[in-house]
Amino acid sequence: MKLVRKDVLGIADFSVEEINLVLDIAGSFKEISQRPIKKVPTLRGSTVINLFYEPSTRTRTSFEIAAKRLSADAINISASTSSVVKGETLMDTAKTLESMNPDIIVMRHACAGAPHILAKLLKQSIINAGDGAHEHPTQALLDMLTIRDKMGYIRGLAVTIVGDIAHSRVARSNIYGLAKMGAKVTVCGPAMLLPYGIGRMGVRVETNMRKALERADVIMMLRMQFERQNKATFPSLREYASQYCLNADNIRLAKEDVLVMHPGPINRGIEIAPDIADGPHSAILEQVSNGVAVRMALLYLLAGGQ
Amino acid sequence: MRLLLKGGRVIDPSQNIDDILDILIVNGKISLIDNKIDISEVKTRGSIDSVDIGGRILVPGLIDMHTHLREPGFEYKETIESGTKAAVAGGFTAIACMANTSPVNDNRSVTEFILTQAARTGRARVYPIAALTRNQEGKILTEFADLKDAGATGFSDDGMPVTDSGIMRCALEYAYSLDMPVISHCEDLGLARGGMMNEGLVCAELGLTASPDIAEEIMVLRDIILARYTHTRVHIAHVSTAGSVEAIRAAKASGIAVTAETAPHYFTLSEEALRSFSTNLKVYPPLRSERDLEAIKEGLADGTIDAIASDHAPHSSIEKEVEFDYAATGLIGLETSLSLSLRLVEEGILSMSGLIKKMSTNPADILGVSGGSLRHGLPADITVIDPEVTWTVDAARFHSKSRNCPYQGMQLRGRSVMTMVGGEIKYRSGL
């Protein structure tokens, strides 16, 4: 089976078959990263540009490693070092890059819809590596791969996502993906960080964390995004941590074999207690490893692999 | 100078006329309306030109009471010349222009400049709306009497809400004493929080910042309360929500002097369209839900909403071909407003006469300007509409300098084919 699409902009328009395809291929790619020589020639001669308008360590590195393990040439451009600081528009940057004939452009941007502009404008494949508070499709795919690996299946699982849902592209992509895969999703956070209308996206909405954790199979903690709290919405981090930090006490409300996830980077002691982040339930580092595999799978599939 | 317009379906809501009639124009004024003016008889009194209207609809010149002409200050987006060219092409014989130019139209010299430019380069009549407060900062009232004397038609800080209710109260009272309208841009900035689209499911899915409908409604209600308390009147600009319609309907029923306008995009497009992230759909107030869209139509049908105005807001590609977050708000409407509004007639929401009332007679009454009528002796401001002709929107062919039109490629039926200002034909195409 092939992935018949030019771009990966969001999970909203992914089919269940497509999700399963990416997860299957990613599963088979995991082994490459365990080899002493972690490189296959699959994408030799291809060029992947990582165009990052927002700071990122893990996602950018993950895409870069994924490309290199497939023998593609990976080039990183970050907004602070590019002509963006000289005032070039996104459209002009995009057309300039297009003229150098890359095969795939991976893009992160602080504005929702920015990769969609590129997708419309350019003949190259665009992978959304996070656009504002909209979508982060590769994160959702690696999260689903992690759940499937650890739990064996996704259908029917109770997944609770806790934190700043309003500003989270990770939450949105996971809501779409997990719902498509048959999980029961609960979102939880302080009322002002739950977007108005979120309940109509097919999730259970809960402001009380203890209730949200009850009988959960999977807990996804989101990073409290200080940098996006430009409008005074929540009283203080102290108050936040007192109500929404996953710790040894409230984790007991979830199922005994609960899986704890976090897209990173984590704020220890704010949304997750250190002993939980490092504890036996935590799949945080597996998520990172799976991220490389999922991104390898997408690069491979978009380049026409089957 | 004499001109005979023969055989038009003349619709004039101000005189309850809807009939096939001839109109004789002498020296730029309407001289005679009759069902058969004998040209040979008229000819005996000197030479005369004649235009065969051929059953097309002839109405009092349309008036767009809410536009942005960008001159002075942003001439690369629009000038008074290009904006009024777009106006007459769209069937408008007069347009009111908002004060958010650079410098802001908050003093006599800017108002006089606009009127001078309009006289020099304009195709349509231009009615400057002066700022309500100095530099539109919402703090100190502008010199209403001086501005009125200079030729301002009304007062508004459009684009910026007047947050201080005490200032708004003073504005309503002072403007009323000068018999001048106040046009209110209703937005609670605290609730809106700079939100870029309507709060709701689509916004939750797209992750764009949200401005709720109540940000508009709270201010509509405030202005209604102020108008009631001070026994003055207020005009609500660009009504976009069901709650605003309901509030205005109730206010009118209890005798409060409130009038309201909406714009074609609020009864044509909904928030669903934002899924494309097209920046030409970024506008304030934001496109609302389907439910709001229906409520706007109901408000138009039952008279709650008095006027249709385009809120023509030109922006260049520099401001629009960017990320959605960074894009300027507003869309151009002068050249699509009539055609989109004619759909209301097709849908049975308004009669043709009802539509002309909202696009000509009522705007003239609210602004307190002449026009909106074909009465004997008035300047011959006339629009001829061909309701049958179909056309495809192509912004590249617009007369406006800007291209931020969300209707590109849309098939529309009906448009203006002749626009006459003071007896002079300013636009003619397909007649």
Q: What is the spatial distance between Cα B281 and Cα B269, in angstroms, rounded to a whole number?
A: 9
B233 belongs to a structural domain: yes
Please check whether residues B254 and B121 belong to one and the same domain: yes
Q: Is residue B21 part of a domain?
A: yes
Of A132, A201, A231, nearest to B205 by CB-CB distance is A201
Mutation site, B277, B278, B320, interface A, largest A CB count within 10 A: B277
Residue B282: inside a domain: yes
To the nearest whole angstrom, how far is the Cα of B252 from the nearest Cα of chain A?
A: 31
Asked whether residue B372 is domain-assigned, the answer is no
Q: Is 90 exceeded by the pLDDT of residue A224?
A: no
Pair B123, B257 in one domain: yes
The partner residue sitting opposite A201, judged by closest CB among B193, B204, B323, is B204
Instruction: Pick the range with the lowest mean pLDDT from A76-80, B61-65, B227-231, B422-426.
Output: A76-80
Asked if the model's pLDDT at residue A230 lies above 60, the reply is: no
User: Is residue B268 situated within a structural domain?
Assistant: yes
Residues A41-65 pLDDT 10s: 999 999 999 999 998 889 999 999 9
Backbone angles phi, psi at B82, to 5 degrees: -70, -35
Counting other chains too, the contacts that B273-278 makes at CB distance below 8 Å and 24 or more residues apart are B273/B406, B274/B197, B274/B202, B274/B203, B274/B206, B274/B208, B275/B202, B275/B206, B276/A116, B277/A112, B277/A113, B277/A116, B277/A117, B277/B206, B277/B324, B278/B406
Which residue from B57, B78, B171, B176 is spatially nearest to B126, judged by alpha carbons? Answer: B78
Q: State which residues form the domain around B389.
A: 2-58+378-428
Mark whether B224 and B337 lie in a shared domain. Answer: yes
**d(Cα A106, Cα B94) in Å, to the nearest integer?**
50
Q: Which residues of B are catalytic?
A: 311
- For residues B378 and A66, what is the distance between their CA atoms, to the nearest angstrom? 76
Tokens of B324: 């959605």
> DSSP strand E in A85-224: where?
104-109, 125-131, 158-162, 184-188, 204-206, 218-221
Rounded to an integer, the average pLDDT of B370-388 is 97
Task: Record the tokens describing residue B167, joined without a space.
Answer: 């200032």
Please report whether residue B328 resides in a domain. Answer: yes
At residue A235, the pLDDT reads 85
Q: Which helix (H) or strand (E) holds B403?
A: none
Using the beta-carbon criterion (under 8 Å), do A114 and B323 form an inter-chain contact?
Answer: yes
> CA nearest B39: which of B28, B27, B47?
B47
**Alpha carbon distance A133, B153 (integer Å):** 44
For residue B277 the two structure tokens come to 């992230």
> What is the reported pLDDT for A2?
84
Confidence band for B39, pLDDT divided at 50, 70 and 90: confident
Domain end, chosen from B321, B340, B367, is at B367
Residue B373 inside a domain? The answer is: no
Instruction: Determine if the peptide bond prior to A235 is cis (ω within 30°).
Output: no
* Chain B CB contacts of A135 below 8 Å: 207
CA distance A276 to A279: 5
Q: Report how far residue B262's alpha carbon sits from residue B283's, in angstroms, rounded to the nearest whole number.
A: 13
- Residue B303 has which token pair? 């008279």
Q: Are B257 and B269 contained in the same domain?
A: yes
Report d(CA B311, CA B69) in Å as an integer: 10
- What residues in B contact A169, CB-CB < 8 Å? 207
pLDDT value of residue A79: 77
Q: Which residues of B touch A173 (CB under 8 A)?
A: none
Residue ending a domain, choose from B367, B387, B406 = B367
Task: Give the pLDDT confidence score for residue B351 in this predicted structure.
Answer: 98
Average pLDDT over residues B70-87: 98
pLDDT band at B41 (very low <50, low <70, confident <90, very high): confident
CA distances from B107 to A216, B144, B286 (A): 65, 9, 30
* pLDDT band for position B44 (cuts 50, 70, 90): low
Per the CB < 8 A criterion, the answer to whether B63 and B368 are in contact is no
CB contact under 8 Å between B277 and A113, yes or no, is yes
Residues of B in contact with A193 (CB under 8 A): none
CB-closest option in B207, B212, B322 to A133: B207
Any chain A CB within 8 A of the CB of B193?
yes
Q: Name beta bridge partners: B129.
A: B154
Which B residues 205-244 touch A at CB under 8 Å?
205-208, 210, 212
Taking only the tens place, the pLDDT of each residue in B298-348 is 999 999 999 999 999 999 999 999 999 999 999 999 999 999 999 999 999
Q: What is the mean pLDDT of chain B?
A: 97
Spatial CB neighbours of A193, under 8 Å, sequence gap ≥ 6: A163, A164, A165, A166, A167, A233, A234
Residue A83: band (very low, low, confident or very high) from pLDDT cuts 50, 70, 90? low
**pLDDT digit string (tens) for B338-369?**
999 999 999 999 999 999 999 999 999 999 99
With beta carbons less than 8 A apart as the criterion, state whether B101 and B76 touch. no
> Is residue B351 included in any domain, yes or no?
yes
Cα A51 to chain centroid, rounded:
16
Nearest to B167 by CA among B111, B218, B216, B223: B223
Percentage of chain B lying above the pLDDT 70 cut: 100
Give per-residue pLDDT as tens, A157-192: 999 999 999 999 999 999 999 999 999 999 999 999
Q: What pTM does this model have?
A: 0.94
Q: Do B84 and B71 reside in the same domain of the chain? A: yes
B400 & B280 share domain: no
Q: Judge whether residue A285 has pLDDT over 90.
A: yes
Question: B146: domain CATH number?
Answer: 3.20.20.140
Per-residue confidence band for A10, with pLDDT thresholds at 50, 70 and 90: very high
CATH code, domain with B13: 2.30.40.10
**Continuous segment of H or E residues that includes residue B93:** strand B92-97
Asked if A196 lies within 8 A of B199 by C-beta distance, the reply is yes
Segment B1-8 shows an average pLDDT of 92
Residues B184 and B303 in one domain: yes
For residue A94, the chain B residue with the least C-alpha distance is: B322
| Number of domains within chain B | 2
- Regarding whether B146 and B53 lie in a shared domain, the answer is no
**Neighbouring residues of A11: CB distance < 8 A, sequence distance ≥ 6:** A19, A135, A137, A140, A141, A173, A174, A176, A177, A180
Report the alpha-carbon distance of residue B384 to residue B387 in Å, rounded. 9
Q: How many A/B residue pairs have CB atoms within 8 Å?
A: 65
Largest interatomic CA distance in chain A: 56
Q: Identify whether residues B325 and B278 lie together within a single domain.
A: yes
| Residue A81, pLDDT score | 60
The answer to whether residues B37 and B76 belong to one domain is no
| Chain centroid to CA B111 | 19
Task: Provide mean pLDDT across the span A109-136.
Answer: 96
Shortest CA gap A186–chain B (Å): 15
Question: CB-based contacts of A76: which residues, under 8 Å, 6+ apart?
Answer: A49, A50, A52, A60, A64
CB contact under 8 A, A112 and B212: no
Based on the domain organization, do B250 and B395 belong to the same domain?
no
Shortest CA gap B200–chain A (Å): 5
Query: Phi and psi dihedrals of A295, rounded to 5?
Result: -70, -35
pLDDT band at A233 (very low <50, low <70, confident <90, very high): confident
What local confidence, expressed as pLDDT, does residue A85 receive? 61
Domain identity same for B391 and B342: no
Angle between helices A284-302 and A16-29 (to 10 degrees): 110
